[in-house]
A = this chain, B = another copy of it.
């Protein structure tokens, strides 16, 4: 109806305009088949002029794909993370979604997760799983369903036969060493670590990096592992444990910004001056860290870069029949703020 501006134009319309068959149009635009370049260009020009946009459903129907990518934060009963819990995830998501749309895919964010049925009725061509935890049933479910997966952070457990893992990660061991060194250089003598339980590669790496660093410096290990839900309260309790030691730390590194904020609360309650009595640093930056008093020094993981790389790898994994993209390692950095600026 109307003059046609509303009626979607399909491959037949292009074919009619170019006076060729739909087959030829398809071939011309996809680069397949046997056609002289002149014809290809002619058809491409006409398609462009008509504003032809192939129907994704029809295309996907033939190829057997859905055209959708999924992204989900890994969780288990022990670690009930949610989408909005961390600024880190938001930044990652934002970058991923941009990268996906740029490449013609839609990125579906998993919301309320129920068991392994992560994407409900929606089925995806592949999924990005953020910070996979060891006992997340979702990973096994995705494997069983044959869904290509890229993880952000490395998977735990023995290598699954045949299939190579595909992941994007930071070098957390190195990042941990660098923040510890940063603290030491600013005058810290005894540095404690507050970490979540080692269910993610990220945490395991941080603990490993810490232990290695202690070893090389001959410092006593002071590790407090947080169990249960991750929030400021958990950080407070962990910090209290460390600060009640006979020889308490004079600096604490927490592997999550929310824990670091908890340390700050605990320090205040104890009347400790930050950074003079106690330095505090956290991993992953956030608005809250920046706005705390004093602002907290943070290790940044470049979540935007991680998100983009993950989408890129996932698409390569889906399209590249059988060939698995190489792992990607994203550089880290330190955002130096007042919480570690002790007067010499």
- Chain A positions within 8 Å of B, measured between CB atoms, are 6, 53, 55-58, 60-61, 66, 68, 82-84, 87, 90-91, 93-95, 97-102, 104-112, 119-123, 146, 261, 286-288, 290-293
Contact = CB atoms under 8 A, between A and B. Distances in A.
B146 A6 contact: yes
A261 B291 contact: yes
A181 to B, nearest CB: 27
List 6 tightest A-B contacts by C-beta distance, closest first.
A98-B111, A293-B293, A104-B121, A97-B111, A287-B288, A98-B112
5 contacts: A56-B123, A97-B110, A98-B111, A101-B120, A287-B288
B105 A94 contact: no
Contacts of A123: 53, 56
Contact of A119 (B6, B91, B101): B101
Given A66-B57, A287-B287, A288-B288, A97 B120 contact: no
A109 B119 CA distance: 15
A325 B19 CA distance: 45
A141 to B, nearest CB: 13
B109 A122 contact: no
